[in-house]
A and B are shown apart, each in its own frame.
Chain A
Amino acid sequence: MHDNKNLEQIEKKISSLKKEKQEKEEKKHTKNHKQEGMRAAMEFILSILVSAYIGYWIDNYFNTTPAFIFIFVILGTATGFMAIYKISNNLDSSIGYSSLHNSKKNVKETLEKDSNE
Chain B
Amino acid sequence: MANPVQQFEITPLVPLEISGYDISFTNSSLWMAFALIISTLYFTISMRKKSLVPSRAQAFSEMAYEMVANMIRENIGSRGRQYFPLIFTLFILVLLGNVLGLLPYSFTYTSHIIVTAALALMIFFMVIIIGIYRHGLHFFSLFLPPGVPILMLPLIVPIEIMSFIIRPITLSVRLFANMVAGHIMIKVIAGFSVMMASIGTIGVLAGIIPMMFNSVIIGFELLIAALQAYVFAILSCVYLKDTIEINH
Residues of B within 8 A of A97 (CB): 145-148, 248
Min CB gap B160→A, angstroms: 6
Measured CB to CB, the nearest residue on chain A to B174 is A42
- Decide: A79 near B238, CB < 8 A? Known: A50-B169, A95-B143, A97-B145: no
Min CB gap B63→A, angstroms: 18
Question: Which residues 21-79 in A have Cβ within 8 Å of B in the complex?
Answer: 35, 39, 42-43, 46-47, 50-51, 54, 75-76, 78-79
Interface: B231 (CB within 8 A): yes
Q: Is the CB of A92 within 8 A of B238?
A: yes
Interface residues of B: mostly helix, strand, loop or mixed?
Answer: helix
Interface: B43 (CB within 8 A): no
- On chain A, which size bracket covers the interface? 20 to 34
- Within the assembled complex, what's the spacing in Å between the Cα atoms of A83 and B171? 14
Residues of B within 8 A of A39 (CB): 174, 231
Interface: A98 (CB within 8 A): yes
- Within the assembled complex, what's the spacing in Å between the Cα atoms of A28 and B174? 22
- Within the assembled complex, what's the spacing in Å between the Cα atoms of A54 and B146? 28
- Within the assembled complex, what's the spacing in Å between the Cα atoms of A51 and B166? 8
Residues of A within 8 A of B241 (CB): 94
Interface: B203 (CB within 8 A): no
Measured CB to CB, the nearest residue on chain B to A43 is B170
Q: Is the CB of B170 within 8 A of A79?
A: no
- Within the assembled complex, what's the spacing in Å between the Cα atoms of A92 and B166? 14
Question: Which residues 115-170 in B have Cβ within 8 Å of A in the complex?
Answer: 142-143, 145-148, 155, 158-160, 162-167, 169-170
Measured CB to CB, the nearest residue on chain A to B241 is A94
Residues of B within 8 A of A50 (CB): 165-166, 169
Q: Is the CB of B169 within 8 A of A35?
A: no
Q: Is the CB of A75 within 8 A of B158?
A: yes
Residues of A within 8 A of B174 (CB): 39, 42
- Within the assembled complex, what's the spacing in Å between the Cα atoms of A112 and B29? 57
Starting from the known contacts A47-B162, A47-B163, A95-B160, 10 additional A-B residue pairs (CB-CB under 8 Å) come to A42-B174, A46-B169, A46-B173, A75-B162, A78-B155, A79-B159, A94-B239, A95-B242, A97-B248, A98-B247
Binding site for A on B (CB under 8 A): 142-143, 145-148, 155, 158-160, 162-167, 169-170, 173-174, 227, 231, 235, 238-239, 241-242, 246-248
Closest 5 CB pairs of A and B: A97-B145, A79-B162, A98-B248, A98-B247, A92-B238
